[in-house]
Amino acid sequence: MKKSATKTVKVSTLLLAGLLTVVLSSTIFADERVVKYRAKSGPLLWPSEPPEDIPFEQSKELAGVLFTGVHSDYRVADTWYPCWAADDNLYSPWTDGQTDGMRSGSGGRNATTGQAIMIGDDPLNLKIKALGKTKGDPHPYQGRYPCGSLVHNGVWYYSTYCLGPAGSVMHDGMRWNWPVLGPMPGFRISTDYGKTWTDTPHTPAKPLFPEPAEFMGPVKIGSPKFVDFGKNMEHSPDGKAYLVGYGAEENDPKPRYANLSWISGDQIYLTRVTPSIENINDESKYEYFAGYDEKGEPIWSYDFKKIKPLLEWNNNMGCVTITYNAPLKKYLMCVTDGWPTVAKMNSYILESDKITGPWKLVTYMKEFGEQGYFLNFPSKFISKDGLTLWLCYSGNFSQGWNNIRFKAIPPGSRYGLVLQQVKLLDPKMHREYKKKLQAQKQHDPLKSKNNIARKAKVTVSSTYKGYTAEAAIDGVVGGYPEDISAEWASDGEKTSAMLRLNWDNPQIVNRVWLFDRPNTHADQVTAGMLIFSDGSTITVGELPDDASAAKEITFLPKEVTWLKFVVTAVKPETQNIGLAEIAVFSAED
């Protein structure tokens, strides 16, 4: 009996030990706490990454642009080109959206363009008031959008340009936006700061400048903008208003579909006129840049046929603006190459001591925005030393077109009106900021090399339309309603929604951060489970609801090749559960 009893005890002990081993190997103990996190939105030294065939030499005086991280948050339409008038206010066109309760859209026979006043000296606290909208039939084109806008001596000159054949065109299996740039019909005029207008005597079929040669053919003075010479044009070198536009030639050596579109082209052109009600719509009063003489001096001609490109970089140019930086005594040119019209866009900044050049590169901003367009520097917001400015632009209008999603890079980029504070850097300052910011980057846990989630391949159980799984490991905490490109949202899932990270090689990890979606009115994870490739699991409690903090889970170091996070409970209002961000930290230095 003793032997039998001893044997039974031994068997029971072994079974219990085995059971405990199974339990302990599958569920591990972990510490859980809430960690406050504030995204570091700046400063950002934008890397200059020009293509090898860029025709501009690097400026020796200005080596780059620093984005300070300070930006506006205006909820208005887009297409803003602020002009600094004698009354100290800014006046600007706008369209395709709502501004101050008024809506304008520039497509179709009933196309309208809006006008607005921007009151104030603080770029972050401007009072923007819609002053009305004006109808402009684009026929025989299909779109008519704002371009050159100048308020000089109390007279507002407002131009539009035509687009075709439609705002959405399918070609070669892809959806395109306004692939053909048409002419600029002329200027409507207001002598009471936009309250009433006198329309241009010209039409899209018979525009101010003698182009295009054929309907839907290329133009040279496409979507022209007035050079910003400061308050009431005070820094014009000769009292004349200059217009800079972009275009292409009839016999393009590098043809492509949508070559000359609303945002892409081959050359930059320049024309000038003495601004007056009598002159502005009279083509005979315009002089065109016609190249250089044997001494390198600019040639100006009243004959449109003699016009020559100011700059040329085939298949790499597009929407263009110029601002005179009076403190630096330099012209700054912004160019956006937005081909193929609905993808990520590249912009670059050039500088010159003279408006006719030579022009040199300050920075080439690949994928700025990531879809930034209509870039310009309002002269009113240039600092006394000329080194701090505010970049005005719109961004990311075609979210979801052709299944492309855009991130807000730099932070603050969005559709509508964006004002980003920037600093121009000389070579010494550029080197110092580059070194300093590289060190600071490692202090942000999400962007540090220890966050190995960013190196993983991510898969999810489902994705809501317009969202991506990759947004959960991009190092950015954000989401609806500010920036849906910064978060993952499932497609109607609640419990059982899953995110998985896979690594090519084994990783030793000991800590995970989980950020809930920031939409506090709806989705929240109230419980979940981490599952590791070694078979172990960790139960996770409620995530902070507004993404301002992470739920941190800390455990003994473990070697894994994958991990999963499975949602097991949500709050009742949940519709599309997901994560703003997941970070997985290496236990190795």
Q: What is the pLDDT of residues 345-357, one digit of tens each?
A: 999 999 999 999 9
Percent of the residues in the chain that have a pLDDT greater than 70, as a whole number: 94
Res. 37: pLDDT tops 50:
yes
Which among 67, 81, 56, 54 is positioned nearest to 351, based on CA atoms? 56
Q: Is residue 575 a contact partner of residue 492, using CB atoms and an 8 Å limit? A: yes
What pLDDT shows up at residue 22? 40
Region 549-553: mean pLDDT is 96
Could you tell me the pLDDT band of residue 3, with boundaries at 50, 70 and 90? Answer: very low
The CB density around residue 347, as the number of other CB atoms within 10 Å, is: 25
Please give the structure tokens belonging to residue 441. 């980057």
Could you tell me the pLDDT band of residue 43, with boundaries at 50, 70 and 90? Answer: confident
Could you tell me the pLDDT band of residue 556, with boundaries at 50, 70 and 90? Answer: very high
Could you read off the pLDDT of 53-100 as tens digits, one per residue? 999 999 999 999 999 999 999 999 999 999 999 999 999 999 999 999
Res. 13: pLDDT tops 60:
no
> Reduced to 3 states, what is the DSSP secondary structure of residue 81?
coil
Strand partners, 117: 91, 129
Q: Which H or E run contains 428?
A: helix 427-441
> Reduced to 3 states, what is the DSSP secondary structure of residue 287?
strand
Region at 319 (left for phi over 0; alpha for psi -120 to 50; beta for the rest):
beta
Respond yes or no on whether the N-terminal peptide bond of residue 358 is cis (omega within 30° of 0): yes
Domain architecture of the chain: domains with CATH: 23-40+445-586 (2.60.120.260), 44-435 (2.115.10.20)
Region 469-494: mean pLDDT is 91
Q: What is the mean pLDDT of the chain?
A: 93
Q: What CA–CA distance (Å, rounded) separates 280 from 191?
A: 14
What pLDDT shows up at residue 481? 79
Region 252-267: mean pLDDT is 97
At residue 358's C-alpha, the angle toward residues 306 and 433, to 5°, is 145
Q: Which H or E run contains 77?
A: none
What pLDDT shows up at residue 5? 38
Region 13-17: mean pLDDT is 36
Which among 265, 358, 328 is positioned nearest to 56, based on CA atoms? 358
Res. 453: pLDDT tops 90:
yes
What pLDDT shows up at residue 25? 47
Could you tell me the pLDDT band of residue 21, with boundaries at 50, 70 and 90? Answer: very low
What pLDDT shows up at residue 440? 65
Could you read off the pLDDT of 482-520 as tens digits, one per residue? 788 889 999 999 998 999 999 999 999 999 999 999 997
Could you tell me the pLDDT band of residue 589, with boundaries at 50, 70 and 90? Answer: low
Please give the structure tokens belonging to residue 350. 């050039």
Which among 139, 141, 83, 92 is positioned nearest to 114, based on CA atoms? 92
User: Residue holding tokens 């040669």?
Assistant: 213
Region 329-343: mean pLDDT is 98
Which among 294, 272, 289, 295 is positioned nearest to 356, based on CA atoms? 289
What pLDDT shows up at residue 6? 37
Res. 113: pLDDT tops 80:
yes
Region 328-349: mean pLDDT is 98
Q: Identify which has the larger pLDDT, 371 or 548.
A: 371
Could you tell me the pLDDT band of residue 42, with boundaries at 50, 70 and 90? Answer: low
Could you read off the pLDDT of 136-189 as tens digits, one per residue? 999 999 999 999 999 999 999 999 999 999 999 999 999 999 999 999 999 999
